[in-house]
Chain A
Amino acid sequence: MNDLEPQAVLSWVERFIARIDDRVQELTELDRRSGDGDFGTNMVTALTRAKAKLSPSPADAGAAFSSLSTAFLEHSGGTSGPLFGMWFREFALAGQGGPAFSTALLADAARNGVAAVRRLGSASVGDRTMVDAMAPAADALAEAAENDVPAVRALRLAAEAARAGADSTSSIIARRGRASYVGEAALGAPDPGAVAVALFFESADGS
């Protein structure tokens, strides 16, 4: 059995919250170069809310993601907060009522998630936003699902793809999002939203 059961999803979300907490300075610094410097603290505020909502014994595979989603939608943090809320919502909906996340289910969630963010944020790949990490991760999960790769291994591939996508934003001049106001001044540093997406997938690996 390689699928991710509710407890494993909970651990993933807890590791993600801890990892963002550790990196808040770094994210804030990145946002200072491209935006108004409140990204890190907005993330931590939303994730602190999420942590308080997490059930120690989640009812289904989507429960922990549902707490994440609601916390982001409840916290007014520019445009990235609500968009993360809708991204996590697709993971919550995919796992709702289900016993575990298979690779196929993760691929569905990631595909629907990035579609929601693209639609609501009107951002495409190459605009220097969180989409630059979300889209390659979704593609990696779709490919893994096609090849029957087990969930844990599939998430490692998604993490690598998300990280590469996040790194690529260092050399993009923003067309969307906050960084579009500063143009070339943000070059050389990755987009903090994309970095957060990479951290999310990297947190799936508990080993």
Chain B
Amino acid sequence: MAAHQLVNDPQELVGEALEGLELSQRGRLRWNRDPSFVIRADDRRPYKVGVLSGGGSGHEPLHTGFVGYGMLDAAVPGAVFASPTAIQIQAATEAVDDGRGVVHVVKNYTGDVLNFTIAAEISGDIRIETVLVDDDLATDTSVEGGPGRRGTAAVVAVEKICGAAAERGADLSTVATLGRRVAGNARTMSLALRACTHPGQSVPSFDLEAGQVEFGVGIHGERGVRQIPVAPADELVAALTEPVADDLGLSRGDAVFVIVNGLGSTHQLELLAAYRQVTRLLDARGVTVARQLVGSYVTALDMAGCSVTLIRADEELVGLWDDPVRTAALTW
């Protein structure tokens, strides 16, 4: 057993973590064992649109850490880096439906999309709207019929905004439309300083040559789009931020949500310094930061590195962002 991980049996790790989450939240949420999903157990307002997300484990606190008042009604975890099954998603959908319908927030990965699509088809009469999150600029290729951009850290903002709108009593299509507005105006770029190591293994998922940084990585321990030389933080952060700002076409007077996200083992000290640099770059463009998140929200196990997400903000979205939220990983 690798000494650098706190692991009993790698096969049991996801279940043990879900049990721990349930215990740590002291009745605010419940882990349904079979099929596996995490659901709010507080006094959820009745007749509200359900907001549901899910995906592979290994990205904690995503998604289970965002289950609670003002955000997700339930989250469906798969095995490490593997989609949850359609049956899990269907069961969670039924559990959160009050009759006003359910929004599925889905990161764009083949397995997740397939299983959420199937779940929607076999969920019978429940009205379901899907919000696809595909913010990863590194995978922005124009391959016809290709899988498209991956979904990464912008999913946190989509879950926050959809959750807030649903909590206010908005109807199904309004919640979904807001989610799509956030997703459509979000782009992310990521880099890795060290690859991640799967539970129970001792070797990282890829090797980085000395002096190299993997640029354009996703959140599943896969390689990025290219390697760039190690450089001071400000230069690396600029390499992440500038193409994202360019792609969104940001110009003087625009406002954005900023998410500086740690990929698993990059320290908050570094993330805060990175955020400082993002604000300086945006200042130089005349772009204001409407709101921000700085921390590890969407991780790839113990990968070292970070991502920068920019999302066009407007008054309505800022209002929803500011609505109260009470979850394990996000509370205000």
Q: Which residues of A contact B (CB under 8 A)?
A: 70, 73-76, 78-79, 82-83, 85-86, 89, 120-122
Residues in B whose Cβ lies below 8 Å from that of A86 = 118, 121
Closest to A71 in B: B87
Is B58 on the interface with A (CB-CB < 8 A)? no
Q: Which residues of B contact A78 (CB under 8 A)?
A: 111
Number of interchain pairs (Cβ within 8 Å): 38
A76:B83 contact, CB within 8 angstroms: yes
* Chain A contacts for B232, CB-based, 8 A: none
14 A-B pairs with C-beta separation under 8 A: A73-B85, A73-B86, A73-B87, A76-B79, A76-B82, A76-B83, A76-B115, A78-B111, A82-B85, A82-B86, A82-B118, A120-B114, A120-B118, A122-B145
How close is A75's CB to chain B, nearest CB, in angstroms? 7
Q: Taking CB as reference atom, which chain B residue is nearest A75?
A: B85
List A contacts of B10 (CB < 8 A).
Answer: none
CB-defined contacts of A76 to chain B, threshold 8 Å: 78-79, 82-85, 111, 115
**Among residues 81 to 117 in chain B, which have CB atoms less than 8 Å away from a CB atom of chain A?**
82-87, 110-111, 114-115, 117
Instruction: Please determine whether A74 and B35 come into contact, CB atoms closer than 8 angstroms.
Output: yes
Q: A residues within 8 A CB of B145?
A: 122
The reply to whether A79 and B122 form a contact with Cβ atoms under 8 Å apart is no
Question: In angstroms, how far is the closest chain A Cβ from the Cβ of B251?
Answer: 37
Contacts of B79 in A (CB 8 A): 76
Q: Please pick, from A70, A73, A120, the residue contacting B117 in the complex, using a CB distance under 8 A.
A: A120
The answer for the CA separation of A75 and B110 in the assembled complex, in Å, is: 16
Are A85 and B82 CB-contacts (below 8 A) given A70-B87, A73-B87, A74-B87?
no
The SS class assigned to the B binding surface is helix
Q: In angstroms, how far is the closest chain A Cβ from the Cβ of B59?
A: 16
Given contacts A73-B87, A76-B79, A122-B145, contact A89 B111 (CB under 8 A): no
Give chain A residues whose Cβ lies under 8 Å from the Cβ of B115. 76, 82
State the Cβ distance, A159 to closest chain B Cβ, in Å: 27
Contacts of A83 in B (CB 8 A): 114
In angstroms, Cα B119 to Cα A70, docked, is 12
Q: Are A85 and B114 in contact (CB under 8 A)?
A: no
Q: Which residue of A lies closest to B82 (CB)?
A: A76
Whole-angstrom distance between the alpha carbons of A73 and B86 in the complex? 6
Q: Which of B12-46 contact A (CB under 8 A)?
A: 35
Distance (whole angstroms) from the CB of A41 to the closest CB of chain B: 14
Q: Who on chain A is nearest to B115 by CB?
A: A82
Task: State how many angstroms separate the Cβ of B212 from the closest Cβ of chain A.
Answer: 24
Chain B residue at smallest Cβ distance from A86: B118
Closest Cβ of chain B to A103, distance in Å, is 27
Tell me, in angstroms, the Cα distance from A70 to B110 when the chains sit together.
20
The answer for the CA separation of A79 and B82 in the assembled complex, in Å, is: 11
Bound form: Cα–Cα A79–B117 in Å: 12
Q: Which residues of A contact B114 (CB under 8 A)?
A: 79, 82-83, 120-121
Measured in the bound complex, the distance between the Cα atoms of B79 and A42 in whole Å is 14
B78: nearest chain-A partner, CB-CB: A76
Beyond A73-B86, A120-B117, 15 additional pairs, beta carbon < 8 A: A73-B85, A73-B122, A74-B85, A76-B82, A76-B85, A76-B111, A76-B115, A82-B85, A82-B86, A82-B115, A83-B114, A86-B118, A86-B121, A89-B122, A122-B145
Q: Which of A73, A83, A86, A120 has the most CB of B within 10 A?
A: A73
In the complex, what distance in Å separates the CA atom of A136 from the CA atom of B79? 35
Measured between alpha carbons, how far is A121 from B111 in the docked complex, in Å? 10
Closest chain A residue, CB of each to CB of B110: A79
- Cβ distance A56 to chain B, nearest Cβ, rounded Å: 23
Q: How far apart are B121's CB and chain A's nearest CB, in angstroms?
A: 8
| Interface residues as binary, B133-155 with A (CB distance below 8 Å gives 1, 0 otherwise) | 00000000000010000000000
In the complex, what's the smallest C-beta–C-beta distance from A133 to chain B, in angstroms?
20
A86-B121 Cα distance, complex, nearest whole Å: 10
Chain B residues, CB < 8 A from A82: 85-86, 114-115, 118
4 A-B pairs closest in CB distance: A74-B87, A73-B86, A76-B85, A73-B87
Residues of A within 8 A of B122 (CB): 73, 89
A85-B118 in contact (CB<8A): yes
In the assembled complex, which residues on chain B have CB atoms less than 8 Å from the CB atom of A75? 85
Measured between beta carbons, the chain A residues less than 8 angstroms from B117 are 120
* Chain A positions within 8 Å of B111 at CB level: 76, 78-79
Distance in Å: Cβ of A24 to nearest Cβ of chain B:
21
* In the bound complex, CA of A74 to CA of B114 (Å): 13
Q: Which of B79, B84, B114 is the most central at the interface, judged by chain A CB atoms within 10 Å of its CB?
A: B114
CB distance from A121 to the nearest CB of B (A): 8
